[in-house]
Amino acid sequence: MSKILQIDLSAKSYMVYENDKLYNEYIGGTGIATKLLYDMHIENNNPYDEKSPIIFSIGSFNGVYPIATKTIAMFKSPLTGNLGESHAGGRLFMSMYDAGLSAIVITGRLDVPSYIAIENENVRFIRATSIWGQSALATERILRGQEKGIGKRSIVRIGPAGESLSPMGNVLVDTGRHFGRLGLGGVMGSKNLKAIVISGSKRRKMDNFPAFNKVYTEIYSKAVHSAAMKKYHDLGTPQNVLPLNKINGLPTRNFSQGFFEGAEYLSGENMSENYLAQQIACANCPVGCIHLGVLRKSFQDRIHYKTFKISYDYEPIYALGTNLSINNPDGLLDLLNIIEKAGWDAIEAGITLAWATEAFEKGLIGTKETKGIILNFGDVETYKKVLLKMRENKEEFFENLNKGSAYCANKYGGKEFAINFGGLGAAGYITGRDAFIGFLMGVRHSHLDSAGYSIDEKVVRGDLEPNEGKEIDMLIEEEEWRFILNSLAVCLFARKIYTEELVIRALAALGITKTPEDLKGISKKIHKLKYEIKIANGFNMDKLGFPEKLYTIQTSRGKMDRATIKRMIKDYRDRIASLLSVN
């Protein structure tokens, strides 16, 4: 299982090759995608250059064990200018597995807007000028009707945001899952690639069935019957709203404070009780963490009603709810619906609207730029108007908003309150220094890299004594372990189930022998390559700092001391430098 499908969109050609060595060395998923990207030397490319690649990859647990549901995407990020990496659930991993493909590498640019259909090792290139401009949701409906597939289909597509080359553009995968954050949507748009439909007809007989079956059943049983995954199924990630609010860690009104007075309305509890239509799952995951909320709206004469089902999670609730001071779940779902159709990343869109609102308050922008629109925190109807104008992408100010908070702050000012790290908007935690250092130094600048917020929470709870060096140790250790989980492409929600011991046993049941030392070696190698890619693409470790505003606010751990943060960043940098110096 080491087949790589390489597609050249410019030539409309493709080939399949095998690379067992790559798989032995890097396991799969993030490991092999990193190595493939590294070897392609993207440092001289613009993210939207024809030759900039998009790499999708899966690992040896995908399609085999429960909750190994992720597909890894790697590319050059138009938001940060360096390593772009996003992970999505849904059915994509299953369709790639069914097609017998471990990775898909796409380069080039189509001459006209098109989509590609992959069936096993065959690729068709189909003109799609008629659906260019269609929402990301309509595109899925249309292509599901058009493409019958040769098995369960996965449909990966962009909306108008990606088409307009917005670096906030994401890629939607099946229902309610996304390659988010780092602008893969814009990269697909730059290639005139509206969608990818993939299906396959291969099946894999397990060599050592009893061993495999035993591990499968153990994981399934833990997922369904133990407490390990309960929170993800029950309230889902929004269960974090109230606990974070309680410790002053819930970003409110553009990171002005960690307490939101309307948190109760946006809590997992209230969303479940009053808005949850149902939970759904990624393929081969019995947990079902995808929470679909119901938005019911009247139209025309108020006797007509229309109903939407919109997936919600903690991060969009923070980005479009608390951080914009919106406490009304209907309003939140309404904004999310617009964002989902346009195909933006919800966090990035929220961070940009939050920057715009504060910039308006401070007079850096005015009604001249906004064409008369008055921006206020909490004003759902105005935010809807702004998003629709951003989707139109016709007037200068809204075209600029479509490029994200870092771009806007460069143009209009207000860098100190544009809450992004290296260009990527912050995830929803004001828990303290470890959350922010994780965003700054993590390879994806995301809360998913090292979960620094959870270290902060341990300190707040009194379970961990503050210790600068040890906290950095914990951040790096967590991030490096996650490289292994991401190489197997296991959903990180299952990280309590997929312990090192289980991973080694599950690999052994597939005939792959790895020791804890082997895994550590692989993750160090991945870490080093990722940093080398980042640095070669302009990530400058000498110019690192937080947005100024963050030094002025109360985090869950109190105000941050500038000298301490400087020391910790230097310490982290030194460790990366020493990682890079190893051959």
Partner 1 sequence: MRVINREQCIGCYSCMYACSRAYFHVASTKLSAMRIKNYSGVEGTFSIRICVGCPDPDCAKACPTEALTVRKGGGVEFHEEKCINCHQCVDACLLDALQWDPVTKEPLVCSQCGICATFCPNNVIALVEVNDE
Give me the residues that bind partner 1 (CB under 8 A), please. 63-64, 66, 94, 97-98, 137, 140-141, 144-145, 151-152, 175-176, 201-206, 209, 212-213, 216, 220, 223-224, 277-288, 292, 309, 311
End-to-end CA distance of the chain: 29
Closer by beta carbon to partner 1, 151 or else 438: 151
The least CB distance from residue 506 to partner 1, in Å, is 12
- How far apart, in whole angstroms, are the C-alpha atoms of residue 15 and residue 319? 42
Task: Judge contact between 437 and 554, C-beta under 8 A.
Answer: no
Closer by beta carbon to partner 1, 6 or else 311: 311
The least CB distance from residue 233 to partner 1, in Å, is 8
- How far apart, in whole angstroms, are the C-alpha atoms of residue 7 and residue 110? 11
Closer by beta carbon to partner 1, 282 or else 550: 282
Closer by beta carbon to partner 1, 365 or else 494: 494
Joined together, the tokens standing for residue 309 give 């089902």
Closer by beta carbon to partner 1, 145 or else 363: 145
Sheet of strand 171-173, all strands in order from the earlier edge strand to the far edge:
122-127, 114-119, 193-199, 154-157, 171-173, 177-179
The least CB distance from residue 283 to partner 1, in Å, is 5
The least CB distance from residue 224 to partner 1, in Å, is 5
Closer by beta carbon to partner 1, 48 or else 220: 220
The least CB distance from residue 351 to partner 1, in Å, is 26
| Nearby residues of 279 by Cβ (< 8 Å), 6 or more positions away | 233, 236, 288, 289, 290, 291, 292
Joined together, the tokens standing for residue 426 give 């912050």
Comparing CA positions, the residue from 129, 582, 489 lying closest to residue 285 is: 489
The least CB distance from residue 154 to partner 1, in Å, is 11
From the centroid of its chain, how far is CA 329?
23
- How far apart, in whole angstroms, are the C-alpha atoms of residue 251 and residue 426? 10
252 — phi, psi (to 5°)?
-130, 135
Half-sphere exposure of 225 (CA within 13 A, CB side): 6
Closer by beta carbon to partner 1, 178 or else 444: 178
Closer by beta carbon to partner 1, 151 or else 442: 151
Comparing CA positions, the residue from 94, 85, 95, 111 lying closest to residue 11 is: 111
Task: Judge contact between 430 and 249, C-beta under 8 A.
Answer: yes
Joined together, the tokens standing for residue 354 give 């939050």
Closer by beta carbon to partner 1, 16 or else 281: 281
Q: At what angle do helices 329-342 and 346-361 cross, to 10 degrees?
A: 110
Joined together, the tokens standing for residue 435 give 């959350």
Closer by beta carbon to partner 1, 5 or else 136: 136
Closer by beta carbon to partner 1, 143 or else 541: 143
The least CB distance from residue 436 to partner 1, in Å, is 35
The least CB distance from residue 350 to partner 1, in Å, is 22
Task: Judge contact between 89 and 279, C-beta under 8 A.
Answer: no
Joined together, the tokens standing for residue 499 give 């312990």
Comparing CA positions, the residue from 403, 387, 402, 409 lying closest to residue 326 is: 387
- How far apart, in whole angstroms, are the C-alpha atoms of residue 550 and residue 79? 21
The least CB distance from residue 69 to partner 1, in Å, is 9
The least CB distance from residue 217 to partner 1, in Å, is 9
Residue holding tokens 């796409």? 106
Closer by beta carbon to partner 1, 55 or else 68: 68
Joined together, the tokens standing for residue 180 give 């988010």
The least CB distance from residue 340 to partner 1, in Å, is 10
Comparing CA positions, the residue from 251, 426, 91 lying closest to residue 438 is: 426
The least CB distance from residue 285 to partner 1, in Å, is 5
Closer by beta carbon to partner 1, 98 or else 480: 98
| Nearby residues of 188 by Cβ (< 8 Å), 6 or more positions away | 54, 158, 162, 169, 171, 194
The least CB distance from residue 311 to partner 1, in Å, is 8
The least CB distance from residue 338 to partner 1, in Å, is 16
Closer by beta carbon to partner 1, 335 or else 472: 335
- How far apart, in whole angstroms, are the C-alpha atoms of residue 93 and residue 140? 17
| Nearby residues of 344 by Cβ (< 8 Å), 6 or more positions away | 159, 161, 166, 168, 169, 170, 185, 390
Task: Judge contact between 296 and 182, C-beta under 8 A.
Answer: no
